[in-house]
């Protein structure tokens, strides 16, 4: 009996070690499409914090058209590729500017597409975003509260799981001249906590699935 308990305990510990060692796949969505985006630079800081813990990829959605039901079938190649990347991700981290105190149009458009059912014959069926773990950070000089409220309303509605405290930061004054975003120690600490919350949420999901 003691040997059985010992073997079960050892197996449980081994599974726990294996679960922690499995590299997670986290997809970054940057809400600004411009080159040198401050939010892209914040994403690069987050990427450093996830080094060795997750594989990071950046979603290119620059060619996704404005949502139109006439374009849903047959599925456009660009939309098939975007969905494939989302489906392969264990979690999504959105880095979003504030546009008129709300979600940038390109991001909202992307989420509109991704929230559509994969099987159009069942409109209420699962989408590429179904139960996906999501968190949000933002570089902007104002409107963070309104932006985050908008995401917190939208993301659960499209059946994603929102995790972590969102990170908000303003643009440092010098960035307007040299284009280089500089995060404060406080922001970096918040970003680190957000990264850890994301990994923890993924681990919990993996545990429930027997990984």
Question: What pLDDT does 208 receive?
Answer: 79
What is the pLDDT averaged over residues 3-12? 46
SS (H, E, C) the chain: CHHHHHHHHHHHHHHHHHHHHCCEEEEEEECCCCCCCHHHHHHHHHHHHCCCCEEEEECCCCCCCCCCHHHCCCCCHHHHHHHHHHHHCCEEEEECCCECCECCHHHHHHHHHHCCECCCCCCCCCECCCCCEEEEEEECCCCHHHHHHHHHHHHHHCCCEECCCCEEECCCCCHHHHCCCCCCHHHHHHHHHHHHHHHHHHHHHHHHCCC
Q: Does the pLDDT at position 10 exceed 90? A: no
- 181-197: per-residue pLDDT in tens? 999 999 999 999 999 99
Residues 6+ apart with CB under 8 A from 32: 38, 39, 40, 96, 97, 104
Range with the poorest average pLDDT among 58-72, 74-88, 134-148, 195-209: 195-209
Q: What is the pLDDT of residue 150?
A: 98
Q: For the chain, what is the mean pLDDT?
A: 91
pTM score of the predicted model: 0.89
Q: 69 with 142: CB under 8 angstroms?
A: no
Question: For residue 13, what pLDDT is reported?
Answer: 52
Q: Can the peptide bond before residue 77 be classed as cis, meaning omega within 30 degrees of 0?
A: no
87 has a pLDDT exceeding 90: yes
């Amino acid at each position: 009996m003691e040997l059985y308990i010992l073997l079960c305990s050892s197996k449980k510990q081994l599974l726990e070690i294996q679960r922690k060692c499995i590299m997670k796949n986290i997809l970054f969505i940057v809400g600004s499409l411009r080159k040198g985006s401050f939010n892209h630079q914040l994403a690069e800081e987050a990427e450093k914090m996830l080094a060795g813990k997750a594989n990071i990829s950046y979603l290119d959605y620059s060619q996704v058209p404005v949502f139109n039901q006439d374009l849903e079938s047959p599925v456009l190649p660009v939309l098939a590729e975007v969905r494939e990347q989302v489906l392969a991700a264990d979690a999504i981290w959105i880095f979003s500017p504030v546009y008129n105190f709300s979600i940038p149009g390109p991001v909202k458009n992307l989420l509109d597409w991704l929230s559509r059912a994969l099987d159009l014959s069942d409109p209420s069926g699962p989408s590429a975003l179904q139960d996906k773990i999501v968190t949000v950070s933002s570089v902007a000089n104002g409107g963070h509260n309104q932006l985050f409220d908008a995401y917190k309303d939208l993301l659960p509605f499209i059946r994603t799981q929102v995790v972590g405290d969102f990170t908000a930061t303003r643009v440092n004054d010098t960035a307007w001249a040299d284009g280089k975003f500089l995060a404060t120690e406080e922001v970096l600490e918040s970003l680190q906590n957000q990264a850890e919350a994301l990994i923890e949420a993924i681990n919990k999901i993996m545990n429930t699935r027997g990984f």
